[in-house]
Amino acid sequence: MSGHKTDHALQDMHRPDDAAALSNQGTATSRIIRPRDAASLILIDRNGNEPRILMGRRARAMHFMPDMFVFPGGGTEAQDGRINAANSLRPQDEAKLLAGLGKRASTQRARALAMTAIRETYEETGLLLGTPHDDAQTHPWTGFARSNHLPDLSQLRYVARAITPPGHVRRYDARFFASFLDEISPELPARNSNPADISAIESSAYNEPELSDLKFVSFSEAFNLNIAAITRIILRDIEKLLLEDRDLSSIYPVPFYRKRHGRHVREVI
């Protein structure tokens, strides 16, 4: 694929059991399922001695990653690319997103992926990645309109991509974005003005049935949770990246995980 550099096979990059576990993310099927565009947000609290990541547990009844801790996220919806935003993606992030879209590449589709991460994070946690704006009162997303904010794509950093291997009833072509807690606008009434008060998220109506037990965890704590292999791999990538660039302000390679010719591979965008 243009713009991608194939790295070693995944089992050469990470633990062998991670590579094997990538095929065990949910219910199996023999049907050919085309991956759906999706996005997740890796929200980082950098205010303490060590970074912490926001994660929540998926419902046990879910077909995809049941009872596992994940980042807020979900599938892209048709209108996501048409939603107004206060600011655009960083040029380097938009370029890398476009590089992975092939013949269907468009600025609107790249924008939709980033907007999905913001929308899903709000729907599942009540947290707004946004900027105060005079035009926000007519925004179609109620929470943003109510708090006079527009989504702010410039707060996102594109950090990873992964496609669910064939053989699953749910397949996603997921893009992972990172942002920092101190860039979040709190919207929940019970939260006062402190986004780090995660207890307010846990007890709020925004805590959807598909994602519960929301909490900020250190990397070491996250590795001890029930997480999917790809989640573990991406957490390792982010942990390393933060050691090299605490603000994620540099231009860095974006790892892309997928299965090719029967092998799990890591490519670089």
Q: Given CA atoms 108, 93, 257, 236 in this order, what sign does their dihedral have? A: negative
Q: Which of 108, 86, 109, 91 is nearest to 36 (CA)?
A: 109
Domain boundaries, the chain: 5-26+33-268
Residue 189 pLDDT? 42
pLDDT in tens, 115-141: 999 999 998 888 889 988 888 878 888
> So what CATH class is 5-26+33-268?
alpha beta
The tokens for 194 are 């402190």
DSSP H or E stretch at residue 74: strand 73-75
Res 28: pLDDT: 52
- The pair of three-digit structure tokens given for residue 32, joined into one six-digit string: 């050919």
- Convert 126-148 to b/e letters by CB count within 10 Å (16 or more is b): bbbbbbebeebeebebebbeebb
Using pLDDT thresholds of 50, 70 and 90, give the confidence band for residue 142: confident
Distance CA 40, CA 234 (A): 11
Model confidence pLDDT, tens digit, residues 71-102? 999 999 999 999 999 999 999 999 999 999 98
